[in-house]
Amino acid sequence: MLSTLLRTSVALRALLVAGLAGSAALAPRAQSRDVTFEVASVKPNKSGSNRVNIMPQPGGRFAATNVSLMDLITIAYGMGRPFPRSNVLNGPSWLGRDRFDIAAKAEGNPSQDELSLMLRPLLAKRFRLALHSETRERPVYLLTWARRDESFGPNLRRSNLNCAGPRDGLPVGCEMLSVPGTLKARGMPIEGLLRMLTGWVDDHRDVWDRTGLSGTFDIDIKWTPDRMPSIPPDATPELAQALRSTDPNGPSLFTALQEQLGLKLVADKDASDVLVIDHVEQPSPD
C-alpha cells in the first residue's frame, strides 16, 4: 500500500495509517506469553526533519524514526485506531515536541496488536511513563449524512478492493495518499476515514461514525487546511507535488466533506476514554 500521511507537516506511515487489529481497549489483554521487547534502544533525534516513520519489520523488529512520545502513546494505547491526542491529559510541553529514534526487537513474529502492547512497558521503563485511564465527557464529532436521502457525494464510491489488511498481499490498486488538504484512498473502510478525520479536526477530537456504512470505499477529497503545509526538504516527489497542489482558497474540511463526499461532521459530546499522565521523564541515554 502506498501510504503517505502528513499531519501538521509530519509524514507518519504504517501503524497510525494502515490500522492495527484489535479493539480500542485501554487495559492490556491477557496474552499467551509476555509481550515485551527483548532489547530496545531509545535515542534523541536532532535532525530537525518533519518526517516520521513508524514501521514494524520482519523478525519481530520495530523501528520508529523522528517520533514523539505523544505519537508512541497514541499507538500503544490506541489498539486499532490512533488514540486522540486531545484525550491525553496532563503531559509536559515536550511530549509532542521532542523527537526520538526507537529500535526494538521482540521474540518471534508478534502481531501488530502485540507490538502496541509491547510499547507500554518500554515507555514505562525508558520514559518512566505512568498513567491511568478515566472516562470523561469530552467534545467529539459525529460523522453523519449531509443529505436526507443519504446519497453519496461525487467523490465517494463503493470499492471492489479491500485495503484494510496488512501491507503484504494487498490487491493491485490499493493505495493511499494523505496530506493536509488532500486524501486519495482506495479500498478504505469507513473506519479508515474516521482515523484520518481524528487527525485533522480541532484538537484531534475523536470522530464517531453515525453513517452506518459498511464495506470499502474509494475516496477523493480536497480542502484548505487551517495551516498551509510546508514542503519538507526530504519530501518524496509525490509528497511534494501533493503539497504544492493544496489550494489556499479552497473549501474548509467541513464544507468539502459535504460537497464532495455527501457526509458531514456534527459537534457533540460523549463519554470518552482519556489517559491522564501521572509521571513522565526524558529518557536516559543508551
Quick one: cell of 32? 499467551
> Which three cell numbers, joined as nine digits, stand for 42?
531509545
The reply to whether 197 falls in a domain is: yes
- Whole-angstrom distance, CA of residue 75 vs CA of residue 15: 7
Enclosing domain of residue 36: 7-130
CA distances (Å), origin 130, targets 49, 79, 133, 268, 276: 29, 18, 11, 30, 9
pLDDT of residue 165: 58
What is the predicted pLDDT for the residue at 81? 60
82 lies in the same domain as 148: no
Same domain, 218 and 242: yes
In this structure, the chain runs to a length of 286
**Cα–Cα dist 58/98, whole Å:** 28
pLDDT at 126 over 60: yes
Regarding whether 231 and 113 lie in a shared domain, the answer is no
- pLDDT tens readout for residues 3-51: 333 333 333 333 333 333 233 334 444 343 457 898 999 999 998 877 7
User: Does 281 map to a domain?
Assistant: no
Could you tell me which of 130, 52, 42, 41 has the C-alpha nearest to residue 97? Answer: 52
Shared domain check, 183 and 86: no
pTM of the predicted structure, to 2 decimals: 0.65
The count of structural domains within the chain is 2
Helix, strand, coil percent values for the chain (each to nearest 5): 20, 35, 45
Whether 185 is covered by a domain: the verdict is yes
Q: Looking at the domain assignment, is residue 279 inside a domain?
A: no
Neighbouring C-beta atoms of residue 225, cutoff 10 Å: 19
Q: Which pLDDT belongs to residue 233?
A: 74
The mean pLDDT of 155-166, rounded to a whole number, is 85
Q: What is the mean pLDDT of residues 133-145?
A: 92
Q: What's the pLDDT score for residue 166? A: 53
pLDDT of residue 213: 95
Average pLDDT score over the chain: 81
**151 is a domain residue:** yes
Are 174 and 91 in a shared domain? no
Give the model's pLDDT for residue 135: 92
pLDDT of residue 263: 98
Q: Is residue 280 part of a domain?
A: no
Q: Which residue did the predictor score with more confidence, 260 or 168?
A: 260
**Which range among 10-19, 86-95, 253-262 shows the weakest confidence by mean pLDDT?**
10-19
Same domain, 177 and 260: yes
The band of 218, judged by pLDDT with boundaries at 50, 70 and 90, is very high
pLDDT of residue 20: 30
